[in-house]
Structure 1
Amino acid sequence: MSYKFEKLEVWQLALEYSDLIYELAEQLPTSENYNLKSQITRAANSIALNIAEGSTSQSDAEQARFLSLALRSLVETVACQHLINRRSYLAETEKLRETYRTSETLFAKIQALRRSLKSNQIRDDQVDYETDDEIPF
């Protein structure tokens, strides 16, 4: 038996993104163990968990709501990446750039899935985010 979410490309990418976040978090100083490190890893896990939980929803509107939560968690991880960069926690920023690029792809895929559900019940969440090719790190 397999679950519906296990077949979703967006869920699989969320797992890969979570792995990247964990690799990034491992490079943070121990002083951030219970702060930024915990925050970014919990938010990263939340992305895949919300996608999975939403896949069992009784309606498209409910699934779209869980995808909105996944998007919020994703944006939270991006904000954490900015904090990591501002505080110069990483000697090399290539991992940060790779993670940021993956976040853009994941964001687009979650948005596309959410839009495909065509739910009118999430109008307040219908904010479109634009990205450009410039990576801030």
Structure 2
Amino acid sequence: MMSFRFQELQIWQEAIELTDELLDVADEVEELRKFKFAEQLRGAVMSISNNISEGSGSFSNKDFANFLNMSRRSTFEVVNILTIFQRRNYIDVSFYEQQTIKLDQLSRKITNFRKSLL
């Protein structure tokens, strides 16, 4: 089976797992007829893995590092969205805490990988 560079990266694999979990949340929020909120979460969480994969196709490490910076910033956006969801009782506190821990860890891994490129 052919594989792309990004598919071998732990940060991409973790981002995909997180995306799966949070797309389910977006579906649940959409059932509450909060369509804009659901789309915001979908876009932000998909941006994490999208930027890792897109950046891995760069011809320079500097360019790849820029994509990783965008990916890392998207983790912060997702935390913000989840904070709003938790405050609005769309998700419970324990789920919120679990996800923010995962996002913090992923953000740190992205940062460390980015530093290794420069």
- Which TM-score applies when normalising by structure 2? 0.91
Q: Decide which of 30, 33, 37 is 2:32's aligned counterpart.
A: 30
Cα deviation, 1:11-35, whole Å, max 9, x if unaligned, reads: 00000111121122233253312x1
Distance of 2:90 and 2:47 partners within structure 1: 24
- The answer to whether the 8 A contact 1:24-1:96 is kept is no
- The answer to whether the 8 A contact 1:24-1:95 is kept is no
The 10-residue stretch of structure 1 (16-25 or 102-111) with the greater mean CA deviation from structure 2 = 16-25
Give the match for residue 48 of structure 1. 49
Structure 1, unaligned runs of 5 or more: 119-137
**What secondary structure is seen at the aligned counterpart in 1 of 2:3?**
coil
Distance of 1:2 and 1:50 partners within structure 2: 17
**Between structures 1 and 2, the one with greater helix share:** 2
Alignment of 1:1-137 (within 5 A): 1-28=2-29, 29-33=31-35, 35-90=36-91, 92-118=92-118
Identity among equivalent pairs (%): 32
Distance of 2:54 and 2:17 partners within structure 1: 18
Give the CA deviation at 1:97.
1.8
Q: Which has the larger radius of gyration?
A: 1
Give the CA deviation at 1:94.
2.2
Aligned length: 116
- The answer to whether the 8 A contact 2:11-2:109 is kept is yes
- Which TM-score applies when normalising by structure 1? 0.79
Amino acid at match of 1:104: D
**What secondary structure is seen at the aligned counterpart in 1 of 2:53?**
helix
